[in-house]
Amino acid sequence: MSGASAEQLLGKHQGEDWRARFLDISDLIEILRDCIIDDEYTIPDDLNEAIILTSRGNALKSRLIRKEEVPAKEAHLMCALTLGHDELFVDIEATDPKALSSSIGRQLRDGAIRFPFIYSRDLYDLFADLFEEEKDYLSSEETMRLLQAIPCGVFQYGRYIIGPSGLTEAQSGRALRFSKRVPAFHCSDPVCRDLHSVVFSTGHNAEINSQQHKLVRYLESLETPEADWTGLAMELNNLSETHFGDHWIAPMVTLLGDCLGLEELRTLIAELGDSQPIGERPELLEMAPWHSDQTIAAALDKLVLAGEIVVPEGEVRAPISTGHLRSGAYRLQPQLGSQGVRFVSGDPGLPTLRQRELIRKLYLSGNDDDRHELD
Ligand SMILES: [Zn+2]
């Protein structure tokens, strides 16, 4: 027996307000799930106070405290991070996304929760300085050593942009999520050109992580199957729709972060409307996701064609450090050349599909004259 599907959950939750709130809260909870903490992490009160549990969540919380000897604060947050099972553990109407995001933002600024800056070469150079040998995996202590020496990362979960200034809200949603597997080094094999990845670890000894298995074990023992809450969030984000899209869903931010010089990045941010952009790469990059990928690509095209960003003929710039962050079914990657931005797929069939789509748009829109011209 399987639990409620994303479609069934969609049917059950029709209200626009509820849906928007659910999306915000589930994105914020994803940020908490993905971030890196050290072993000393303690849960701040403002975080737990922002998250209100449903009666189901509260029953689970008190069970964890009574039967599993989980500390109260950890029990509360563990239920929240799980979001729900057959029913939600987090009360979507009563939880305040603003309070939750302000607590996460403060913890990002304080460095209590971290994301690494993966663009350009900061991480690559530091990795080479810190570790003499090739490594597939970093312990929590090694991860923290690395993270403390590089700037705060720039990512986006739904409307929420993670960056050096904490958490800001963009006008439109985007999925630019952090995965703990990060490209970091070249190996000693002289013919291998791959950028190899290392896996970061979060503080497994922090109470919130070390107690987690008790909740997992309990949920697995339940008779009732789990509903697809993650699927619901994906449906609401229209991720399944954009997954097969052609343009504009490639993560433009990777192109800016990896392929523009600091001055070029400043010129672009100014072109996008931020009159006096200041700061280094992370601060500048944090301002870009405010704008849609279409807007960013159009601004970049304009600057390249006007010669304000000089890309000589024949030069093609492609993300390296973030070359793994491609998007959609066609694994699109943004690249920059002398004619501006393009989105490249490794799939050899895509150009034909694109050409067919172009012809359809130009000629087959129901106008007979157009059709005759095509003939
Ligand atoms: Zn290699």
What is the distance in A from the centroid of ligand 1 to the CA of 321?
A: 14
Q: How far is the CA of 324 from the centre of ligand 1 (A)?
A: 15
Quick check: is 365 in a domain? no
Q: pLDDT per residue over 149-207, tens digit each?
A: 999 999 999 999 999 999 999 987 888 899 999 999 999 999 999 999 999 999 999 99
- Distance from the CA of 344 to the center of ligand 1, in angstroms? 24
- Going from the Cα of 369 to the center of ligand 1, the distance in angstroms, rounded, reads 57
Residue 349 belongs to some domain of the structure: no
Is residue 227 assigned to a domain?
yes
User: Do both 313 and 189 map to the same domain?
Assistant: no
pLDDT band at residue 142 under the 50/70/90 scheme = very high
Range scoring the smallest mean pLDDT among 118-127, 182-191, 292-301, 352-361: 352-361
Rounded Cα distance, 120 and 261, in Å: 10
Q: What is the mean pLDDT of residues 70-76?
A: 95
Position 307 scores a pLDDT of 96
315 occurs within a structural domain: yes
User: Terminus-to-terminus CA distance in the chain, angstroms?
Assistant: 55
For residue 258, report the distance from its CA to the centre of ligand 1, in Å. Answer: 20
Look up the domain containing 299 and give its range: 243-344
Q: From ligand 1's centre to the CA of 281, what distance in Å?
A: 28
Q: How far apart are the C-alpha atoms of 316 and 337, rounded to whole Å?
A: 5
pLDDT of amino acid 149: 93
Same-domain pairing of 53 and 166: yes
| pLDDT value of position 241 | 60
**pLDDT tens string 82-110:** 999 999 999 999 999 999 999 999 999 99
Claim to verify: residue 263 and residue 231 sit in the same structural domain: no
- Cα–Cα dist 180/220, whole Å: 25
- Check residues 359 and 197 and name the one with the higher pLDDT: 197
Tell me, in angstroms, the distance from the centre of ligand 1 to residue 191's CA: 8
36 Cβ neighbours under 8 A, 6+ residues apart? 113, 114, 115, 116, 143, 144, 147, 180, 200, 201, 202, 203
Task: Flag whether 374 is in a domain.
Answer: no
Domain co-membership, 83 together with 155: yes
Whether residues 117 and 206 share a domain: the answer is: yes
- In a shared domain, residues 64 and 169: yes
Distances (CA, A) of 234 to 174, 243, 323, 331: 12, 11, 24, 18
Per the prediction, the chain carries an average pLDDT of: 91
State the distance from the centre of ligand 1 to the C-alpha of 189, rounded, in angstroms. Answer: 6
302 C-beta neighbours (distance < 10 Å), count: 14
Q: What is the pLDDT of residue 375?
A: 78
Q: What is the pLDDT of residue 250?
A: 62
Ligand 1 centre distance from Cα of residue 143 (Å)? 21
How far, in Å, is the centroid of ligand 1 from the Cα of 197?
A: 10
pLDDT at 264: 96
- Tokens 């986006």, residue located: 156
Residue 312 lies in a domain: yes
Boundary-marking domain end, from 237, 258, 276: 237
Distance CA 79, CA 72 (A): 11
pTM of this structure: 0.91
Instruction: Using the predicted structure, report yes or no on whether residue 305 has a pLDDT greater than 70.
Output: yes
Q: Coil, helix or strand for 29? A: helix
Per-residue pLDDT for 259 more than 80?
A: yes
Distance 80 CA to ligand 1 centre (A): 40
Domain match, 247 and 233 both: no
Distance of CA 125 from the midpoint of ligand 1 (Å) = 16
Is 51 inside any structural domain? Answer: yes
pLDDT of 290 > 80? The answer is yes
User: What is the rounded average pLDDT of the residues 209-229?
Assistant: 91
CA of 185 to the centre of ligand 1 (A): 8
Q: Which residues place a Cβ less than 5 A from the ion ligand 1?
A: 187, 189, 192, 194
pLDDT of residue 274: 75
pLDDT, greater one: 373 or 192: 192
CA of 187 to the centre of ligand 1 (A): 4
- The HSE-up count of residue 123 (CA atoms within 13 Å, CB side) is 31
Q: Distance, CA 305 to ligand 1 centroid (Å)?
A: 37
Whether 302 and 218 share a structural domain: no
The answer to whether residues 267 and 203 belong to one domain is: no
pLDDT in tens, 227-252: 999 899 888 887 656 666 665 556 89
Confidence of residue 209 (pLDDT cuts 50, 70, 90): very high
DSSP class of 314: T
Number of domains in the chain: 2
